[in-house]
């Protein structure tokens, strides 16, 4: 017996289920304290699969698959760890043994794992071997391999999972043959060796196909900033190695900050799918010779007769084919996020010799890529790329996730920027050690992760070309569709039962969708319609129909939080309303060069802000019933009520003393009948913000008030004109019925 064999006993302890259950409870408690959001994307794979394969990027992820599988199925899982954990009889080594962890170099590793699967356990394997920190798994020819620390060279992925699955299938074939041949003594022998309750358990296991489930773990975002874990360790350690520092920085941020961990399982792989009929014939022929799992797995390591050597050679060939299949599946299951797309675009530009990219071109290419990838069923997009709220402002360069990506790239000295371009630094092209690249060049790491996904590469390349030639109507159609999707998503979210106390009292049934109208002969003049607080685009629908008959192209925006639920409105800031206006203006710009913004009430304030910000691109602005002064004196108490609500929210779980007040609207089929106090405070902040905007308006401005408006006092006109005002024309015009008459 060699030295390697003497390191371990022939057998290994079975799983201590009590300790395993306790460990799962501890992990569940620790998970609540961590900043990582774990989400499993799987259908029936956890129940069907026997061998689960995962890519390997951090140490933390090695604990997660067992937890997820147990949580989903109640099944116990075995895993493989480096032999260094078992070199001494430590508390950690004893714990690992008790919860189903096996050393990678145990001479009976495959027979022991196969026995566990036959008992109903799952096996978790990381076929890359070690952590692939650079995510670099594919060469220029599209072949998969990883860097080996041991040899200092690249190598193919391990075939161990395929060998294990094939050996199991061979053993199951042997069991079925023994049953058909009524070799009862052999069946009893195997039942006893495997510690099964009865022969029926053995036969059921033999009838079930051995399935390999490829799975991918994707972290987003990846950060490299300082964290308290790394700082705390440094207090007690005289000196950390570069490798330790890197892992504490990257993996500490994964654990301690808001990070999404998407675990995605693919279609199970059947190792028998690559078997030839000849393979099955020889296996049936040799079945009587295989009296144990050890003899079956010896086909790979030490075959005996010529027939066994031939079968073993064919098994190795099949194992390679199975390995290639499950590795391709693992890498194709990556959850694609915005950092992947931005990084891949940057590295593609560098490969083409481009050292900078225009900002507007970059934003547009990313937006086009997102929309095109949404249409591909084979691509697994991160939820942020399917939620309008997350990407809808991307084309204007205002995406929160994109801004985070750019900040990280600039902090790492990978990018610089001026007013119109992002510039790529030399550091992006440098070579890095495996333990440095996650700190020094996360753009390369992100790019490498999606390099195996051909559709992503093709779509990104096409999107960059389409920036210059994409039909404006197509781009506008996508953006308008996003506005409708945003409405649907908001409505779906705020229809939850917890919002029923207010929702069930609402009566608005008019269509709140934004709308776009074009005259039969489109001109160059457009009107951007902006509805008021509590209303929706339905408020201006008739007026829009009138305008289009006059030859104007009309777009009516929906301010975020309107047309769904008062709770949705309560959760928005005035900046969110203005973002809706800005998006509408940018859509209308694709059709018209001369745009006039027409806003009603709160929409008027937003229209004036737009005129101050984008006046050089506008023909004029109209604000009707801008709410500066109110007829109801009770409105003066609203700031006090809002502050009281804030205090109550801070000291309790309640939403405030009075989070909503009733609204006796003249149009209950359009307007909310409950006003969020928080939204009225946002309106106050918006009006105050206008003080600094009005002097910047240099285009014609028409301000209109009705002298019989039941809500907004016409004294608002004088109050507005007393402020530093628009540089254009301001006019008060009222009709005998108190309604403003506007003729564009």
Give the containing element (helix H, strand E) for 36.
Answer: strand 36-41
Residue 469: predicted pLDDT: 84
519 in the Ramachandran plot: left (φ > 0), alpha (ψ -120 to 50) or beta?
Answer: beta
- Alpha carbon distances (Å) from 22 to 29, 183, 184, 418, 576: 11, 42, 40, 55, 46
Q: Is the pLDDT of residue 518 over 70?
A: yes
Mean pLDDT across 665-682: 91
Q: Is the pLDDT of residue 459 over 70?
A: yes
Kindly report the number of other CB atoms within 10 A of residue 358's CB atom.
13
Q: Is the pLDDT of residue 11 over 80?
A: yes
Mean pLDDT across 4-8: 64
Mark 437-448 as b/e (b = at least 16 C-beta within 10 Å): bbbbbbbbbbbb
Q: Is the pLDDT of residue 509 over 70?
A: yes
Residue 305 φ then ψ, to 5°: -70, 170
Mean pLDDT across 717-731: 56
Residue 304: predicted pLDDT: 67
170 band by pLDDT with thresholds 50, 70 and 90: confident
Q: What proportion of the chain, given as a percentage, has pLDDT over 90?
A: 60
SS3 state at 60: helix
Residue 677: predicted pLDDT: 87
Mark 554-582 as b/e (b = at least 16 C-beta within 10 Å): bbbbbbbbbbbbbbbbbbbebeebbbbbb
Q: What proportion of the chain, given as a percentage, has pLDDT over 70?
A: 85
571 band by pLDDT with thresholds 50, 70 and 90: very high
Residue 655: predicted pLDDT: 54
Q: Is the pLDDT of residue 516 over 90?
A: yes
Query: Of 4-18, 304-318, 486-500, where does the model show the most confidence?
Result: 486-500
Residue 626: predicted pLDDT: 85
121 band by pLDDT with thresholds 50, 70 and 90: very high
Kindly report the number of other CB atoms within 10 A of residue 223's CB atom.
20
Beta bridge partners of 144: 138
When comparing pLDDT for 30 and 721, which is higher?
A: 30
Q: Is the pLDDT of residue 103 over 70?
A: yes
Mean pLDDT across 81-90: 89
Q: Is the pLDDT of residue 416 over 50?
A: yes
Q: Which residues contact 439 (CB under 8 A, 6 or more apart)?
A: 224, 246, 249, 250, 412
Mean pLDDT across 61-90: 93
Residue 273: predicted pLDDT: 73
DSSP type of residue 153: S
CATH of 494-722, one of 2.30.29.30, 3.40.50.1820, 3.40.50.1000, 1.10.1200.10: 3.40.50.1820
- Alpha carbon distances (Å) from 134 to 164, 253, 316, 411: 28, 17, 29, 19
Q: Is the pLDDT of residue 541 over 50?
A: yes
Residue 632: predicted pLDDT: 54
Q: Where are the domains of the chain?
A: 3-25+41-222+259-332, 335-470, 494-722
- Alpha carbon distances (Å) from 386 to 449, 452, 504, 560: 20, 22, 29, 18
Residue 76: predicted pLDDT: 97
Residue 691: predicted pLDDT: 84
Burial of 663 (0-12, 13-18, 19+ CB in 10 A): middle
Residue 669: predicted pLDDT: 95
Mean pLDDT across 515-540: 94
Q: Is the pLDDT of residue 694 over 90?
A: no
CA angle 273, 278, 282 (to 5 degrees): 110
Give the helix ranges, DSSP H, for 147-241. Answer: 160-180, 184-193, 199-207, 228-236
110 band by pLDDT with thresholds 50, 70 and 90: very high
Instruction: Please state, in angstroms and rounded to a whole number, the distance separating the CA atoms of residues 431 and 96.
Output: 37
Read off the pLDDT of residues 364-376 as tens digits, 9 standing for 90 and up.
999 999 999 999 9
Residue 256: predicted pLDDT: 75
331 band by pLDDT with thresholds 50, 70 and 90: very high
Residue 688: predicted pLDDT: 87
Residue with tokens 């109507």: 473
Beta bridge partners of 620: 596
Q: Of 34, 20, 5, 29, which Cα lies nearest the Cα of 116?
A: 20
Say how many Å lie between the first and final Cα of the chain, rounded. 97
Residue 288: predicted pLDDT: 66
The 3-state DSSP composition of the chain as helix, strand, coil percent (nearest 5) reads 50, 15, 35
Q: What is the mean pLDDT of the chain?
A: 86
99 band by pLDDT with thresholds 50, 70 and 90: very high
633 band by pLDDT with thresholds 50, 70 and 90: low
């Amino acid at each position: 017996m060699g030295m390697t064999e003497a390191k371990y006993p022939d057998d290994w302890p079975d799983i201590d289920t009590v300790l395993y259950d306790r460990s799962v409870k501890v992990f569940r408690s620790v998970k609540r304290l961590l900043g990582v959001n774990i989400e499993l994307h799987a259908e029936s794979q956890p129940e069907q699969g026997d061998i689960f394969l995962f890519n390997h990027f951090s140490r933390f992820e090695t604990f997660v698959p067992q937890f997820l599988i147990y949580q989903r199925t109640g099944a116990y899982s075995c895993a493989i760890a480096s032999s260094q954990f078992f070199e001494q009889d430590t508390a950690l080594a004893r714990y690992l043994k008790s919860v189903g962890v096996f050393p990678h170099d145990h001479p009976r590793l495959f027979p022991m794992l196969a026995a566990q699967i036959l008992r109903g356990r799952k096996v978790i394997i990381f076929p890359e071997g070690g952590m692939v920190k650079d995510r670099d798994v594919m060469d220029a020819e599209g072949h998969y391999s990883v860097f080996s620390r041991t040899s200092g060279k690249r190598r193919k992925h391990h075939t161990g999972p395929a060998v294990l699955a094939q050996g199991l299938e061979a053993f199951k074939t042997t069991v079925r043959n023994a049953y058909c041949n009524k070799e009862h003594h052999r069946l009893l022998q195997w039942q006893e060796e495997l510690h099964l309750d009865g022969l029926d358990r053995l036969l059921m296991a033999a009838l079930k196909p051995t399935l390999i489930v490829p799975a991918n773990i994707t972290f987003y975002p990846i950060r490299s900033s300082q964290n308290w874990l790394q700082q705390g360790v440094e207090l007690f350690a005289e000196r950390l190695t570069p490798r330790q520092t890197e892992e504490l920085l990257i993996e500490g941020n994964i654990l301690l900050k808001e990070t999404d961990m998407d675990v995605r399982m693919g279609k199970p792989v059947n190792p028998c799918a690559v078997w030839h009929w000849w393979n099955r014939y020889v296996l049936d022929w040799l079945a009587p010779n295989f009296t144990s799992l050890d003899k079956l797995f010896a086909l790979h390591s030490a075959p005996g007769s010529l027939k066994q050597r031939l079968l073993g050679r064919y098994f190795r060939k099949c194992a390679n084919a199975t390995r290639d299949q499950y590795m391709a599946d693992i890498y194709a299951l990556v959850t694609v996020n915005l950092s992947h797309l931005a990084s891949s675009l940057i590295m593609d530009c560098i490969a083409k010799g481009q050292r900078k990219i225009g900002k507007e071109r970059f934003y547009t290419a990313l937006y086009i890529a997102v929309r095109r990838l949404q249409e591909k069923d084979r691509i697994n997009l991160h939820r942020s790329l399917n939620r309008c709220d997350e990407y809808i402002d991307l084309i204007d360069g205002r995406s929160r996730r994109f801004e985070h990506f750019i900040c990280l790239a600039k902090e790492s000295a990978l990018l610089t920027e001026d007013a119109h371009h992002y510039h790529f630094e030399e550091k992006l092209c440098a070579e890095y050690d495996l333990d440095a690249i996650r700190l020094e060049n996360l753009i390369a790491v992100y790019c490498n992760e999606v390099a195996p996904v051909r559709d992503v590469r093709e779509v990104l390349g096409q999107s960059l070309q389409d920036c210059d030639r994409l039909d404006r109507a197509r781009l506008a159609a996508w953006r308008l569709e996003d506005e409708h999707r945003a409405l649907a998503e908001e409505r779906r979210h705020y229809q939850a039962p917890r919002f029923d106390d207010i929702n069930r009292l609402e009566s608005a049934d008019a269509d709140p969708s934004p709308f776009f109208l074009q005259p039969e002969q489109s001109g160059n003049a457009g009107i951007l319609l902006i509805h008021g607080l509590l209303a929706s685009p339905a408020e201006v629908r008739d007026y829009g129909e009138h305008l289009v008959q006059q030859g104007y192209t009309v777009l009516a925006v929906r301010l975020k939080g309107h047309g769904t639920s008062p709770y949705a409105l309560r959760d928005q800031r005035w900046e969110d309303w203005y973002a809706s206006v800005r998006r509408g203006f940018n859509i209308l710009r694709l059709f018209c060069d001369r745009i006039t913004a027409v806003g009603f009430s709160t929409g008027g304030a937003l229209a004036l802000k737009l005129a101050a910000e984008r006046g050089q691109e506008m023909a004029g602005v109209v604000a009707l019933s801008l709410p500066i002064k109110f007829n109801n004196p009770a409105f003066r108490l609203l700031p006090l009520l809002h502050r009281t609500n804030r205090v109550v929210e801070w000291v309790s779980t309640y939403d405030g003393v009075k989070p909503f007040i009733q609204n006796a609207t003249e149009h209950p089929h359009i307007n909310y009948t409950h006003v969020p106090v928080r939204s009225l405070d946002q309106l106050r902040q918006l009006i105050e913000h206008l003080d600094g905007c009005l002097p910047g308006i240099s285009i014609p401005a028409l301000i209109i008030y009705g002298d019989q408006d039941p809500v907004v006092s016409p004294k608002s006109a004088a109050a507005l004109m007393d402020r530093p005002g628009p540089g254009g024309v301001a006019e008060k015009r009222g009709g005998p019925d108190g309604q403003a008459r506007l003729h564009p």
